[in-house]
Amino acid sequence: MKLNRISLVLLAALLVVMGTAQAAPTANENDGDESKAASGLPLPRFASLRSSDVNMRTGPGTRYPIEWVLKHQGLPVEIVAEYEIWRRVRDSDGSLGWVHKSALSGKRMALITGSMHDMHKNNDDKSEVVAHLEMGTTGQVMSCAKDWCKVKFSGIKGYLRKTDFWGAYPNEVFD
């Protein structure tokens, strides 16, 4: 069978498309069941950016184009899938992309969402307010109970309701 130049280009493009379809597995993001990833860690799970200027790519590898550059060290992200040394992450806006696992930290972080929120001295709305946190502020999540999490923002420790930030699941409890 004799192929002309256009046929060869189309065949090569088809092979590339078929190869990338297999190379980029995705998680069933609507599945409510927690599953284990190749790393042995649960999916989905929260992590944070180890540094600023993290490349978020369209697929799991350096051959894939950079779609976003995440600029804020400590920004929480949700890992929704794994492929070898690559992690598919979702940011607080819902954008998805692939980052190298070395760009991520297991340190739990919080991103204040919505309007300004009060950080309380204890896990009670009536306890003393120790800080007013503006939307977009990031801090560390130290532990979480049913409705409240112990957090630290700029060296100040206190408590926030889970509904005040992005970085913990509604039913998640941990120390």
Kindly report, residue by residue over 108-157, the tens digit of the pLDDT.
Answer: 999 999 999 999 999 999 999 999 999 999 999 999 999 999 999 999 99
Ranges of residues in the chain with a pLDDT under 70 are 1-35
pLDDT of amino acid 13: 38
Q: Are 69 and 57 in contact (CB under 8 A)?
A: no
pLDDT computed for residue 31 by the predictor: 36
- Report the alpha-carbon distance of residue 58 to residue 89 in Å, rounded: 11
Is residue 162 within 8 Å of 170, Cβ to Cβ?
A: yes
Q: What is the pLDDT of residue 30?
A: 36
Whether the Cβ atoms of residue 104 and residue 50 lie closer than 8 Å to each other: yes
CA distances (Å), origin 140, targets 71, 97, 127, 160: 17, 23, 20, 11
